[in-house]
């Protein structure tokens, strides 16, 4: 079983729609969680950290369920510029910068 699993997609979603991605992780000792965004042929960039209580950044909402070892990302009112691959990322321990990446979910917003 992969340490971090995501549905690879692709998700093809009309502009303005709401889309949700899910991610599961296998290491119950994992401490930190992130969503990164990667545009085609570019480097990954941090989209947002995921906190236990859930957090929101504009149109983006991230949720964490430690009991189910499940992370989600919700994008509301999707824009053409949201088209990218979204990477679920987990860090095992505080004080350890090593990250484990999911394979990514590809999103295409259709005009």
Partner 1 sequence: NAGVTQTPKFQVLKTGQSMTLQCAQDMNHEYMSWYRQDPGMGLRLIHYSVGAGITDQGEVPNGYNVSRSTTEDFPLRLLSAAPSQTSVYFCASSSPLGQGAGNEQFFGPGTRLTVL
- Residues lying near partner 1 in the complex (CB under 8 A): 4, 8, 31-32, 34, 42-46, 49, 51, 87, 91, 94-99, 101-104
Shortest distance in whole angstroms from residue 107 CB to partner 1: 16
Quick one: 21 or 78, whose CB is closer to partner 1? 21
Question: Shortest approach of partner 1 to residue 67 CB, angstroms?
Answer: 19
What are the distances in angstroms from CA 71 to CA 42, 61, 62, 68? 24, 11, 7, 9
Task: Give the separation between CA 13 and CA 95, rounded to whole angstroms.
Answer: 38
Q: Residues with Cβ < 8 Å from 67, sequence gap 6 or more?
A: none
Helix (H, G, I), strand (E, B) or coil at 82: helix
Task: Match 């992969």 to its residue by tokens.
Answer: 2
Which residue, 74 or 92, is less far from partner 1 as judged by CB? Answer: 92
The residue (of 72 and 103) whose beta carbon lies closer to partner 1 is 103
The nearest distance, CB 55 to partner 1, in angstroms, is: 10
């Amino acid at each position: 079983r992969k340490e971090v699993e995501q549905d690879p997609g692709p998700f093809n979603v009309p502009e303005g729609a709401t889309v949700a991605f899910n991610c599961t992780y296998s290491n119950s000792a994992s401490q930190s969680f992130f969503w990164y965004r990667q545009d085609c042929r570019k480097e990954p960039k941090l989209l947002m950290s995921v906190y236990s209580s859930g957090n929101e950044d504009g149109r983006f909402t991230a949720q964490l369920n430690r009991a189910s070892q499940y992370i989600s990302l919700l994008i509301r009112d999707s824009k053409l510029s949201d088209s990218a691959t979204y990477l679920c990322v987990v860090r095992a321990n505080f004080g350890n910068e090593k990250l484990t990446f999911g394979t990514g979910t590809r999103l295409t917003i259709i005009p």
